[in-house]
Structure 1
Amino acid sequence: MSKVSIHDIRAKHWAIVAVIILVMGAVELGFGRHAICTCGYVDLFHPALDAGNSQHLFDWYTPSHIIHGFLFYFFGWLLFRRASPGVRLTLAVAIEAAWEMLENSPIIIDRYREATIALGYTGDTVINSMSDVAAMAFGFAVARRIPWWMTVALAIAFELLTLGIIRDNLTLNVLMLVHPVEAIKQWQTAL
């Protein structure tokens, strides 16, 4: 029997992560999601808050997905300490992929339109969903490597950066999705 090194195990988990992301993309295509922006091209980063938002690889909501990775790392460490980091990463990616599929269902798309500043939101393209899950996995990997206080500082910096630039962030997004506050919505749309 040959020995399996720690690097082989990491490679195995990253391969599983890739398969989960590809399966999620295939499911979204099966649900009728567009593979790429209907504009016909893919931006690496789409900075505008317009119809192209959530249609390209990365946008101002990418930091939120990185923070998801920070949170998944923390909760995985807290709840599943005996599991390897690779197993915890795989579980986090599976949960994030499930959320991406739910987020792009008519019920959540309609909720975003109704309760948040995403009035014209039509859902993510498949390439954007795949990038969002990859950003979460990146955040997980970063949180695993740096001190906890640095992870918290990065999360706060991301929240303040996006709050300052687009008047939205993970905290407000969750709040407005779960319990909309009209005063916040008015402030967000006053750009």
Structure 2
Amino acid sequence: MSRAAVLAFPQTTFGRPRWSPDADVRFWVAALLSVAVLACWLGLLGRPLAPPSGLRLWSGDLARGNSQQLSDGYSLLHLSFGALIAALMRRYNPRLGGGRLALTVVLSAVVWEAVENLPPVITLFSAPAGAASYHGDSIVNSLGDVVFAGAGFVLARQLSWRGIVALLVGIELACALLIGDGLLWGSLRLAGLA
């Protein structure tokens, strides 16, 4: 097999399984239940429902509103997370239908949000030099992040592989400019390499 064949990405779109109302309902119920479990989990961890200063759709202030409002600069990373999970699942499990793939993205985002708000992880994210002030997410912000991951899935579903790569690179650059952070930069910082 030639090297070009190994590196080539397929230009196909996601498979469209036969429509089944029962399957669609099960996937939606499972996704909604997982989001409800996340909200309860965050409440048990003592995360606030919304910021005490009042809820806004967007916060550009990382010093005070980081991960408290419905969306912020880090919401873009959740958009790329959803697109990346969808792209990886498409690559390695191309027979996975749209409903199952969407549920995989939602469950992945829910698990990430549940882990991200554990006290040791909050400490880990706020410890590196240059990291934004992070004290955990509000419940509204976590639910918004799950929605952004779902939007990333919807975007990835419409794009070719090249389009997905362009989207991920664009989001990384936008995050670097907007918030001085990103998936790559944050990973390097956590590893002590930046």
Fold conserved between structures, TM > 0.5: yes
* Contact 2:42 2:114 (C-alpha < 8 Å) held by counterparts: yes
Partner of 1:188: none
User: Percent identity, aligned pairs only?
Assistant: 27
Corresponding residue to 2:184 among 171, 184, 191: 171
1:19 and 2:33 are equivalent in the alignment:
yes
Shift of 1:61: 0.7
**2:67 partner letter:** S
Q: Per-residue deviation at 1:10?
A: 4.0
In structure 1, how many angstroms separate the alpha carbons of the residues matched to 2:187 and 2:126? 14
Task: Output the amino acid matched with 1:80.
Answer: N
Q: Distance in 2 between matches of 1:142 and 1:115?
A: 32
- RMSD value over aligned CA atoms? 1.9
For 1:169 and 1:48, locate their aligned partners in 2 and report how far apart those are by CA, in whole Å.
16
The answer for the alignment partner of 2:63 in structure 1 is 50
Instruction: Map 1:23-172; keep pairs closer than 5 Å.
Output: 23-39=37-53, 41-115=54-128, 117-118=130-131, 120-172=133-185
Kindly indicate whether the alpha-carbon contact (under 8 Å) linking 2:68 and 2:141 is maintained by their aligned counterparts in 1.
yes
Is residue 2:168 matched to residue 1:180?
A: no
Return 5+ residue gaps in structure 1 as ranges: 185-191
Conserved 8 A contact 1:116-1:180: no
CA–CA separation in structure 1 for the residues paired with 2:148 and 2:129: 23
Counterpart-to-counterpart distance in 1, 2:145 and 2:156: 17
Gaps spanning 5+ residues in structure 2: where? 1-17
Q: TM-score, normalised by structure 1?
A: 0.84
Change (3 A) 1:164 1:120: closer
- Higher helix proportion, which one? 1
Number of residue-to-residue matches in the alignment: 176
Query: Aligned-pair distance for 1:154?
Result: 1.7
Superposition deviation, residue 116 in structure 1: 5.0
AA at the equivalent of 1:176 = R
**How far off is 1:7 after superposition?**
6.9
Q: Flag the 1:24–1:106 CA change in 2: closer, same or farther, 3 A.
A: same
